[in-house]
Amino acid sequence: MSDFLTHPDLRFHENGQTSFQGDLLKLFRLLDASFLRIASQFNANEHRFPIFIPAKELQKVHYLSSFPHLATFPVTLDSDAKNLETFSNSEPLSSGGEVKLTKIAPIKDLLTPAACYHFYVHHQGSTLTGPLYLTTRARCFRREAYYAPLERQWSFHMREIVCVGTSDEVQAFLETCRKRVEEFIAGLGLKIEWLIATDPFFNPSKNPKFLMQKLQPNKTEMVFDGKLAIGSVNFHRNYFGEAFAIQKSGQEAYSGCVAFGVERWMAAIIRQFGPGKRTWPGALAKEIL
């Protein structure tokens, strides 16, 4: 099937998001349960974070300067009574559905752009006595140049498994976790290649961090069918440890994460095996039925 627009369990919205039910919701739950099973092999501590993350925290790693094109902000009206009155008394919407904002209140937050940032903020200023193994699933928001159902959405779910520790601990974690993911992929029979990638920096040629990633690659993607990155393995070195003052063994901590884009995994399963659970890999179907 060439697109998901006709899938009976899926609805794609104009604003780059999807709703799903039935078999697709089962697939979502089952995939995430599989990622959690991998996380549990590290005894990863599961967290649930808020949707917003403070801009001042993300800017500690220059997020706003590096990825301004991806950011989504929660906006509220200035609470001044006159301002609210002006807003409600004039027609609040244009004919094209655009909200005609009056004065807006200061914006101090972003909608979460990637799940693992929450962990570095959470542990900032701490001294670790042992490596941390963590996991969370976050609804993530990214302004993209275009949207496509499941494959490129304004909001989507990202499951991450994260390690914070020494360089050796983090590298051992990434290696073992990648093996577990490879086994899961092999069990499904999914067509995945592992490819070196770089993060999509704004103005990459002017960004020293992009040039650094070119010289010392630290991101490997699980790529379906030669084009769709359904997940990534990322070694951050001590970048977050330094920015958030996390110490381990007398030094800034190292960190790394394994990220899964849950909707993209759903897209890959449907593209390769078909729209319904009857033709999905036995390993999945068995658990669903």
User: Which of 39, 58, 138, 158 is close enough to bind ligand ATP by CB under 6 A?
Assistant: 158
Of 164 and 228, CB closest to Zn ion: 164
Show contacts with ligand ATP in window 117-146 (CB under 6 A): 142, 144
Question: What is the size of the binding site for ligand ATP (CB under 6 A)?
Answer: 18
**Stretch touching Mg ion by CB under 5 A, among 22-30, 111-119, 186-194, 195-203:** 195-203
The stretch near ligand ATP (CB under 6 A) out of 59-67, 117-125, 225-233, 268-276 is 225-233
Q: Kindly provide the residue ranges of all beta strands, DSSP E only, lying in 59-204, ordered along the sequence.
A: 109-111, 127-128, 132-141, 155-165, 192-197
Nearest distance, CB of residue 233 and ligand ATP, angstroms = 9
Closer of 151 and 160 to Zn ion (Cβ): 160
Pick the closer one to Mg ion by CB: 131 or 261: 261
Provide the CB-side half-sphere exposure for 59 (13 A, CA).
8
In angstroms, the CA 63 to CA 71 distance is 9
Indicate whether 153 belongs to the interface with ligand ATP (CB under 6 A): yes
Q: Does 116 bind Zn ion (CB under 5 A)?
A: yes
Beta carbon of residue 228, minimum distance to Mg ion (angstroms, whole number)? 11
For 109-129, give one letter per residue: b (16+ CB within 10 A) or e: bbbbbbbbbbbbbbbeeeebe
For 60, the token pair is 């500690």
Encoding tokens for residue 274? 């078909």
Give the residue with the Cβ less far from ligand ATP, 144 or 182: 144
Per-residue contact track with Mg ion, 147 to 186, x per CB under 5 A? ----------------------------------------
Scanning 71-79, 96-104, 203-211, 259-267 for contacts with ligand ATP by CB under 6 A, the matching segment is: 259-267
Beta bridge partners of 156: 140
Q: Which of 217, 152, 218, 225 is closest to 185 using CA atoms?
A: 225
Q: Which residues contact 34 (CB under 8 A, 6 or more apart)?
A: 184
Residue 155 φ/ψ, nearest 5 degrees: -125, 140
Nearest Cα to Cα of residue 256 among 34, 44, 31: 44
Query: Mask: binding to Mg ion, 202-221, rule CB under 5 A, as x and -?
Result: --------------------
Q: Under the criterion CB under 5 A, does residue 257 sit at the interface with Zn ion? A: yes
Closest to ligand ATP by CB, 5 vs 104, is: 5
Strands 132-141 and 45-47: parallel
Closest CA to 63 of 16, 119, 109: 109
Q: Which of 68, 74, 187, 200 binds ligand ATP (CB under 6 A)?
A: 200
Q: Which range touches Mg ion (CB under 5 A), out of 7-15, 125-133, 197-205, 211-219?
A: 197-205
